[in-house]
Amino acid sequence: MKISCDVARDLLPLYHDAVCSSGSKQLLEEHLADCDSCKLVLERIRDNTIDDRIKYEREEVVGHHTKTVKRKSFITGVSIASVLAVPILVCLIVNLAVGRALDWFFIVLTSLMTLASVTVVPLVRERKKGLWTLGGFTGSLILLLMTCAIYTGGDWFFVAVIPILFGLCILFAPYVLSQSRLTGIASRHKGLIAMALDTLLLFAVIIASGLYTGADILADWHLGILTALVSLILPWGLFLIIRYVKANTFLRAGLSVIFSGFFLSYGLGLIDWILEGTVPYRFSGANLFVWNDATINPNIFLLALLSGLIVGGIFILVGVLRKKKG
């Protein structure tokens, strides 16, 4: 008795799993001896099964390994936390025994919290380690400074904390924003948000320093704010060109270089205007063949402008050619 390909294919999975009757097995083997296409189907069933098995085992091994690593790092984190708890407990007792009130204990506590934020937190957190570590570190550092300021009766808290926040913001705001799920218009302008935060904190630093040093607001440190405003033209200009000008990379690079050239030659004149009330002609006395005290500044301004125009011009030329090409 012969069987058709349809019947053979119905039997193949059973045959592969070795669960069909000996009669069916014999019939199928007779059919397979003559039919190459059914033989091919059987080979495919075998291959797929092996692939599935390998995939399954790989996932099993990786999953097990990840679990082990997670458990080990959690145990390490908890151990570090317990080690840190010992000096906290000792200081609590000593501080109470000696001073009958808690004062410097809080400095020890917040210092060890800062230490824990960069050691314990990344070990015990499973998700968003970076954000939790950064948040914990910033929070405990601010608490530490606040405790020290209160303990020493210092008025330096803001002038210490704001520059620290400014530095952390420059370094980590792009990371924090890239990790956070913003919605709507904000999700498309994360760079702009980071730049705005940096700018606000820069002015907060200037204002905090001005207040701390007791500078005469009108006479002195508005100069700081105006000078900062002029200096910010360069980073903001470059950011807006790179992020928002809709053109190819070469065109944007060209625009950036030309803009930098103009800023470093003409733009810095605004600072002279703020500080001295006059804007000197930037290039008066410039002579690129003579370099002395009288020519060095105008020469540098001239070079900044010329190199900006030449290098930027080349980039723009390449950009235009590439745009035409495709």
Q: Which residues bind Zn ion (CB under 5 A)?
A: 5, 8, 35, 38
> 119: Cβ–Cβ under 8 A, 6 or more apart, which residues?
77, 80
Shortest Å distance, C-beta 9 to Zn ion:
7
Reduced to 3 states (helix: H, G, I; strand: E, B; else coil), residue 179 is helix
Residue closer to Zn ion by CB (options 34, 126) is 34
Which residues lie closer than 8 Å to 146 by C-beta, 6 or more apart? 157, 161
Q: How far is the CB of 46 from Zn ion (least distance, A)?
A: 16
Do residues 237 and 308 make contact, with C-beta atoms less than 8 angstroms apart?
Answer: no
Burial class (CB in 10 A: 0-12, 13-18, 19+), 312: buried
Which residues, in sequence order, are CB contacts of 159 under 8 Å at separation 6+? 208, 209, 211, 212
Task: Single out the residue of 21, 18, 26, 20 nearest to residue 1, CA to CA.
Answer: 26
Indicate the SS3 state at residue 216. coil
Nearest approach in angstroms of CB 42 to Zn ion is 10
Q: Least distance from C-beta 27 to Zn ion, angstroms?
A: 12
Are 138 and 119 a contacting pair, CB within 8 Å? Answer: no
**In this complex, which beta carbon is closest to Zn ion, that of residue 38 or of residue 195?**
38
8-state DSSP, 153? T
Closer Cβ to Zn ion, 8 or 141, answer by number: 8
Task: Give residue number: closest CB to Zn ion.
Answer: 35
Among candidates 83, 146, 72, which has minimal Cα distance to 112? 83
CB closer to Zn ion, 45 vs 160: 45
Tokens 């097990």 label which residue? 64
Least spacing, CB of residue 23 vs Zn ion, in Å: 18
Residue 48 C-beta: closest distance to Zn ion, Å: 19
Q: Which is nearer to Zn ion, 3 or 192 (CB)?
A: 3
CA distance 20 to 12: 9
Residue 9 or 282 with smaller CB distance to Zn ion:
9
Shortest spacing between CB 24 and Zn ion, in angstroms: 14
Min separation Cβ 29 and Zn ion, Å: 12
For residues 40 and 61, which CB has a smaller minimum distance to Zn ion in the complex? Answer: 40
**Minimum CB distance to Zn ion smaller for 46 or for 71:** 46
User: In the numeric block, which tokens belong to residue 208?
Assistant: 């905090």
Rounded to an integer, what distance in angstroms lies between the CA atom of residue 250 and that of residue 319?
5
Say what the alpha-carbon torsion angle 123, 124, 130, 131 is, to the nearest 10 degrees: -160
Torsion angle defined by CA atoms of residues 77, 78, 80 and 83, in that order, rounded to the nearest 10 degrees: 180
